[in-house]
Amino acid sequence: MLLNMHIKNIALIDEIDISFEDKLNILTGETGAGKSIIIGSLGICLGGKFQKELLRDEEKDGLVELLFTVDSEEINNQLLDIDVDSGDEREILISRRLSPNGRTINRINDNTVTTSKLKEVAAILIDLHAQHEQQTLLKASKHMDILDKFGGDTILEKRNSVAKLYKEYVDIASKIRDNSMDEAERVKQVDYLKYRIDEIKNASLKEGEDEELESFYKKAVNSKEILATADNIYKLTGYNSQDSAADFIGRAVTLMGRLTDLDGDLAGTYTILQDVDGMLNDFNRELNQYMKDMEFDPQEFNRVEERLNQINSLKSKYGRTIPDIKNNLLSFETEYSKLLDYEDYMNELLDSFKEAEGRLKEECDQLTALRKDFAKELCQLIKNSLEELNFMSVEFDMEFNKLEKYSPSGNDDAFFVISTNVGEKMRPLYEVASGGELSRVMLAIKSCLAYADDTPTLIFDEIDVGISGRTAQKVAEKMSVIARKHQVICITHLPQIAAMADTHYVIEKNVENNKTITNIRKLTKAEEIHEIARLLGGAKITEATIFSAKEMKGLADREKLY
């Protein structure tokens, strides 16, 4: 349920805070008072476009926040399935902030999220029916979406099965298309693959071989510089020069030995110096051996260079590493084997395609059968609901046709058909319904879907467009029935619907400090009567309109008892 809506710095709204109740919440107000801004802001927070032109003060952030309480365990589980936790308080706070630089920040509770994630969460918590939504009934492609939503998990599971089979079907068709070739092309491909396979196999590659060869090659290429530097180090540290480190340390050892004879306390220090002399001697011996081992065979160097060139050539063609090259070899061999047995391979693909198509057709037929069963139930419910909305002689059904091609959602082409007069032929809904009729049809559909799903909050923006009188009363009664199981928030201009409110709010436009500002406030019982009277009689409210408003409110209250 939507507990609270907070709007700041949006269009005519400086800052407002609205706390909603359960059941039927009605919003009314003068034309131009800002009702569309309220619904527009709500749509923004559900993932709609948030443009900086909406900012009232271009130097400040715009903000819309919606606070929901999650009363249903099923709704909570749906949120958990998409990694949204309502916490111990079972509350979800959705917010969207727009900065003057045009950057939008979306948050759910304490987490920053993408707009698509925000829409995903919003779809679970709220269903917004804006004025333009009834136009979706004029698109036949949307009718089956309505039916599938009514079918719930049963239809969803079957659609998922169809989608899985469709992917398999399309993948096989793609393989057939990609692998189709004439004999000349096949022979050319076979020769080309054989060349690649032979080139890799003849190289007899070993893992790690390239690294060893590169290390050897690097040393060989730099051997002259290495030997010159090592020889210089040997001269500086060895025993062949009177000015070397070894010569100086040797002299120091001799002198230290004499000094120790004179003072035995220096015996430990003498030992350290002897160790230094020994370590330097070991170092020079190993360095000398290293220089002797640095003699490279020119023939060995040429062999290494040629082998590295061969390996690097293969890397440039078949992979960055030797394991990559070997993996590609396996792919080439598989493709080569397939082309050698091309006819058998293509026949296997064609057999697999026919099998997949058969299973897909069977699953699509089952989906169609399920849809037709649900369509009978849904259309009867919609027909009953339309009769309750003052369609006297209405017939409502769904027509099914088969598409030539399959899709992830099956191969059905289904759309609603309607007849609003006795003896009138059933015709597609998108051809015959007027604006007022579309509003009532949409309300009828919403009421039927409301029982089929558990979306906690339904919002209607002027669902009453194009209707009046007795029909308006029927619409009011229908919305009251929906509100028994759902929180309903409705913007209306009709007194019949306003009278049915469990909680009534008025949207007002005032001038404060030479600025036009939109506000919203909850009405008292007396103020409700006054607002209904305004809707009944316009700007001039008389005792007669007050009496009519009281009577209308009393009738509405009694209607809700049944």
Residue type at position 422: V
- Cα–Cα distance, 200 to 214 (Å, whole number): 20
Predicted confidence at residue 412, as pLDDT, reads 94
Q: Which two tokens stand for residue 350?
A: 């064609």
CA atoms within 13 A on the CB side of 229: 5
Contact yes or no for 471/435 (Cβ under 8 A): no
Contact yes or no for 477/388 (Cβ under 8 A): yes
* Pick from 476, 521, 516, 514: nearest CA to 494: 476
Q: Dihedral (C-alpha) 257, 262, 268, 269: value to the nearest 10 degrees?
A: -60
Look-up of token digits 């900012």: 55
Three-state DSSP at 235 gives helix
Three-state DSSP at 397 gives strand
Q: Give, for all 562 residues of the chain, the pLDDT tens digit.
A: 999 999 998 888 888 899 999 999 999 888 777 777 888 888 888 888 878 888 888 888 889 999 999 888 888 888 888 888 888 888 999 999 988 888 888 999 988 999 889 888 888 888 777 655 555 677 777 889 889 988 988 999 999 999 999 999 999 999 888 877 777 877 888 888 889 999 999 999 998 888 888 887 777 766 667 767 777 887 788 777 677 888 888 888 888 888 888 888 888 888 988 888 889 888 888 888 877 777 666 677 788 888 889 999 999 999 889 999 999 999 999 888 877 777 777 888 899 999 999 999 999 999 999 999 999 999 999 998 888 888 888 899 999 999 999 999 999 999 999 998 888 888 888 776 565 677 778 788 877 876 666 678 888 876 777 777 788 888 888 888 888 888 899 888 889 999 999 999 999 888 777 777 888 899 999 999 999 999 888 667 888 889 999 999 998 888 876 6
Q: Which two tokens stand for residue 445?
A: 């559909």
Give, in order, the Cα–Cα distances in Å from 147 to each of 268, 481, 543: 97, 22, 49
Kindly list the domain boundaries of the chain, sorted by start residue.
1-129+454-523
- Cα–Cα distance, 452 to 377 (Å, whole number): 11
- Cα–Cα distance, 241 to 209 (Å, whole number): 42
Query: Which pTM does this prediction carry?
Result: 0.62
Give, in order, the Cα–Cα distances in Å from 197 to each of 190, 193, 202, 203: 10, 6, 8, 10
Mutual orientation of helices 342-388 and 435-452 as an angle, nearest 10°?
A: 110
Beta bridge partners of 63: 8, 97
Contact yes or no for 503/527 (Cβ under 8 A): no
End-to-end CA distance of the chain: 24
* Pick from 559, 558, 451, 476: nearest CA to 28: 476
Distance of CA 437 to the CA centre of its chain: 36
Q: Which two tokens stand for residue 467?
A: 């209707």
Q: Which CATH code for domain 1-129+454-523?
A: 3.40.50.300
Give, in order, the Cα–Cα distances in Å from 208 to each of 205, 313, 322, 493: 9, 16, 8, 81
